[in-house]
Structure 1
């Protein structure tokens, strides 16, 4: 009986691993979509987070404006929150909106797109820290949570794609890790709902072709 030769698969590193290789908290959701990988990728890149309507996401967006409502200030609502905006702004060198905490961390065209932010999300009013993409991997100032997320598209059979949406968080010191841990216990199920809502929105766009540039 002839022994079959062993096959060793070599895993390809993710851009997300370069951005945030070590992390304590994570959430991963996935979906099989009936569309070619390049179509799914464009739909993910063009995703407008404001188009996701789940009770939780709508509540989160409403809660962001609570401090302004208490002070009777107008609540600023951005026209869109597209993933692609982060990368197009970075490519253009536009630094006007420094209040935007989310930054582009890496892109492998047609395969993977990574973005991240730094903040104290456990506070009643989130405190953000603008960290430029080149400084993000090495940022280690105590007291903060580093959050990175990625869409990754894989071919799945002849005409389908597997899309993953992963969110990771690492904190910069033990105290912030403890604080974020308590926060994560409460919000982790809700984060899953938001991630799955994003996947459904991408699936609908990819399978219908609507809103894809």
Structure 2
């Protein structure tokens, strides 16, 4: 007898899908963290990616990390306790993408010629007893059809740096969450 449901219930929509549903480039990193999901979420929420001084992050975003008003990244959505989404826009200039701040209300319609949009999400999943799976996904979309061919070499060349930023953020979240978990 087959007791499996014939149709699986759909989950809640992913905020990253809402922020940037169509994209050409994506990176995903994850880590299993020895802490409860609420502790991991708190560590991800408290991670100050916007004001953290890092030469690599500054190079990757082509911005000064100290001036929050000049930050190219803005909050695009949050499901408290589970998901945080942020993003920005930029102009593609060889050999870099010059990211700039695009306010949340302007983000969906950002269509600057020769531009690109980036969105990223931290998502926390329960993963056994007092463990969590933390994911960090980034997506990039070009504003002009076919422009991805010109952007691909820039993103491929930059992705090792992006990967380092992704992994560094996950390590910082892991360290903070496991320290917090150990102190409770």
| TM-score strictly above 0.5 | yes
TM range (shorter): 0.7 to 0.9
Cross-structure match for 1:131: 102
* CA distance in 2: counterparts of 1:164 and 1:62, whole angstroms: 23
Contact 1:36 1:159 survives alignment (8 Å): yes
Q: TM (normalized to structure 2)?
A: 0.83
| CA gap 1:122/1:166 in 2 versus in 1, 3 angstroms | farther
| CA gap 1:38/1:125 in 2 versus in 1, 3 angstroms | same
Which segments of 5 or more consecutive residues in structure 1 lack a partner in the other structure?
Answer: 66-74, 82-96
Contact 2:95 2:154 survives alignment (8 Å): no
- Cα deviation, residue 59, structure 1: 4.3
Q: TM (normalized to structure 1)?
A: 0.73
Q: Work out the number of aligned pairs and report it.
A: 179
Residues 129-208 of structure 1 aligned to structure 2 (within 5 Å): 129-174=100-145, 176-208=147-179
Cross-structure match for 2:11: 11
Instruction: Pick from 119, 142, 146 the counterpart of residue 90 of structure 2.
Output: 119
Q: Which has the higher helix share?
A: 1
> Residue 168 of structure 2: SS of its match in structure 1?
helix
Contact 1:143 1:175 survives alignment (8 Å): no
Deviation by residue 1:23-79 (Cα, 9 ceiling, x = unmatched): 000000001111111110110111133668xxxx634536888xxxxxxxxx96628
| CA gap 1:128/1:6 in 2 versus in 1, 3 angstroms | closer
Which segments of 5 or more consecutive residues in structure 2 lack a partner in the other structure?
Answer: none
- Cα deviation, residue 122, structure 1: 4.2
| CA gap 1:158/1:29 in 2 versus in 1, 3 angstroms | same
Q: Greater shift after overlay, 181-190 or 27-36?
A: 181-190
Q: Greater shift after overlay, 99-108 or 159-168?
A: 99-108
Contact 1:122 1:180 survives alignment (8 Å): no
Q: Which has the higher strand share?
A: 2
| CA gap 1:122/1:205 in 2 versus in 1, 3 angstroms | farther
